[in-house]
Structure 1
């Protein structure tokens, strides 16, 4: 007996694997907020959890209104999802057919490719320059079949970003029927004068969508809550393909409270910047190549020789209770990605890297 067969394009998909963890030790593989989440969000979650028998608001009105107030945007042009990942999935349902194409930067977020594969579309990767998105390379790969361009800015896993002027140049070079998706999952961490998440562009252009998440700076990864802002026509299309209750009541309530806790966000950014400035140079001093990052993680490159490769370092760290992320799936086999943890976790990481350096 053979049983039902899924679509051929589905069998070609390699499922996404999140960062692994150990029973004991430090999990620094998923770019989670080491400070946890806002106490206000935790309190709101507990209060809402007293009435789990009630369906959530399918329109997430209070959350959309809170987002609108926070960012000065029209809440009617906001749609919420189970993390920004679900927004990407919904875009695939709404805009992609077999034979279509999406474009991403060479080392873009893996989920974009999965979205294309699920729809029978093709993912085109544009080469990067020094692990940064290359606008000219992206535009050169636009064809009549291109439907969506995904740009993670900042990018995971490289930690790089492109200035907003370059984002605007990318948009100006696209046809109006090509949707530009600006993934700002790590936007709150960026402290650069030439950076912008693209909210203004999404408010004006008919083909720009900005996506954001509560998983990173707000520390609500376990609740799966994110949102998107863009043209009415795009938001309407997403609403038509999303589930009627795609975000939970507890996630909505916690997200509203998180938006109101500026002190927690500020503290998270300050901790991240301080530890980035400490950990990155310390690793470089030990002889490791560390790429500049504006996110809450670092991309580390290793030597290509016996005992000193990324896989060797990964095994060495795991033996000491430290899990970080291998980059094979991203086409970066020489690299590992390290999430910034608590000061204690980072101290242990540096000690482990020092031991690994001396072992070579």
Structure 2
């Protein structure tokens, strides 16, 4: 950049986040399973609440999101005074980096995790440090051994996107026990609602015993409200106070809050979403068994598909073939997984279509 308008250090090192494709030229009806959007869509009660709010569009929303925080607290049995809401969990991740890291500091995360961690670190002026994984899963020992005197934040996606792996309760606790008290552990649990594994820990209890742990959540995934951009985090009073000091005064829309409250209270709809997701986590690997495509174990609402190295059967060839059928999966080359595509779990007929297309591709 020339002239006098120079941004803060490290800003120009950021590569803008690029989402997956939404359409394919020449295809009117595209099957888009690339953004980890909930298959069955939002609760009808959330839609009704959103529509009912239309008469209030000229008014600013209540700035502290108290009603939403109260509902979150009641549903999750956590203290509402330790909750802050944001415009998606993305905003909260950015605010955390802005508040607790800066030039000369290090922000750690595992190598195949959410791209926003790196962006947030650089935007704050800190150095992003990617920690190698073991078998596409966070390795606690490697994280611990990477902590230095400059480390200020550790981002842990649990479950992790796009790999679908997670750290068990005992490993999460071991990680926290080996982190200095001046290092903030941020547990990003965007996909927590989908997890049915008995060893998974949403980390609420850890927050309640530790000042240096924050948990983030979103309404974009299991609650299917991605377009409304609503998220929240749970942390110690000290951390929440700091975030509240720098967040925008009306950072969550009124319509988003009302829809999120209704979604939280519709437990039947959430259960249906989880049931469908669990069905295809188990069934889809069987659907493409023997094709040469590997399904990485997942607890989220997506499966990472690993393709052979053969140039005619690799991930790029598969992506091109699927495009020709009007199907979009997520290219994850930017995550360092050039031999993979990520499949968002969809409705029954969508999953059957993808399975059929992949079998056809591998036979062709």
**C-alpha distance in structure 2 between counterparts of 1:166 and 1:355, whole Å:** 41
Q: How does 1:146-295 map to 2 (within 5 A)?
A: 146-295=151-300
Q: CA deviation at 1:261?
A: 0.4
CA contact (8 A) 2:292 2:307 kept: no
TM value normalised by structure 2: 0.97
In structure 2, what is the Cα distance between the partners aligned to 1:270 and 1:286? Answer: 26
Q: Name the stretch that deviates more: 345-354 or 166-175.
A: 345-354
- 2:12 corresponds in structure 1 to 11
Q: Are 1:95 and 2:96 matched, yes or no?
A: no
8 Å CA contact retained: 2:292, 2:308? no
Indicate the SS of the match to 2:97: helix
Q: What SS does the aligned partner of 1:193 have?
A: coil
Q: Which residue of 2 aligns with 1:327?
A: 332
Q: Is 1:41 the counterpart of 2:41 in the alignment?
A: no
The answer for the alignment partner of 2:112 in structure 1 is 107
Q: Which moved more, 1:302-311 or 1:143-152?
A: 302-311
How many residue pairs get aligned? The number is 359
User: In the aligned structure 2, how far is the partner of 1:251 from the partner of 1:276?
Assistant: 29
C-alpha contact (below 8 Å) 1:26/1:322 kept by paired residues: yes
Counterpart check, 1:54 vs 2:53: no
Q: Which moved more, 1:301-310 or 1:259-268?
A: 301-310
Partner SS, residue 10 of structure 2 = helix
Question: What secondary structure does 2:289 align onto?
Answer: helix
Q: Distance in 1 between matches of 2:356 and 2:287?
A: 10
- TM-score, length of structure 1 as denominator length: 0.98
Alpha-carbon offset, residue 56 of structure 1: 0.5
> How many Å separate the matches in 1 of 2:143 and 2:158?
14
1:357 pairs with 2:362:
yes
Q: SS in structure 2 opposite 1:54? A: coil
CA separation in 2, counterparts of 1:7 and 1:211? 27
CA contact (8 A) 1:64 1:78 kept: yes
Q: Specify every segment of 5 or more residues in structure 2 that has no aligned partner in the other structure, as ranges.
A: none
For the aligned residues, what is the CA RMSD? 1.1
Corresponding residue number in structure 1 for 2:342: 337
Quick check: 1:316 aligned with 2:316? no
Structure 1 residue 8 displacement after superposition: 4.4
Q: Please state whether the residue corresponding to 2:288 is helix, strand or coil.
A: helix
Distance 2:235 2:228 in 1: 23
How many angstroms does 1:88 deviate by? 0.3
Contact 2:97–2:153 (8 Å) recurs in 1: no
Q: 1:6 to 1:24 in 2, by over 3 A?
A: farther
1:325 Cα deviation after fit: 0.6
Maintained 8 Å contact 1:29/1:325: yes
Distance (whole Å) between structure 2 residues aligned to residue 212 and residue 188 of structure 1: 9
In the alignment, structure 1 segments of 5+ residues that lack a partner are none
CA distance in 2, matches of 1:118, 1:127: 22
8 Å CA contact 1:280–1:298 kept in 2: the answer is no
**In 2: Cα distance, 1:309 partner to 1:285 partner:** 16
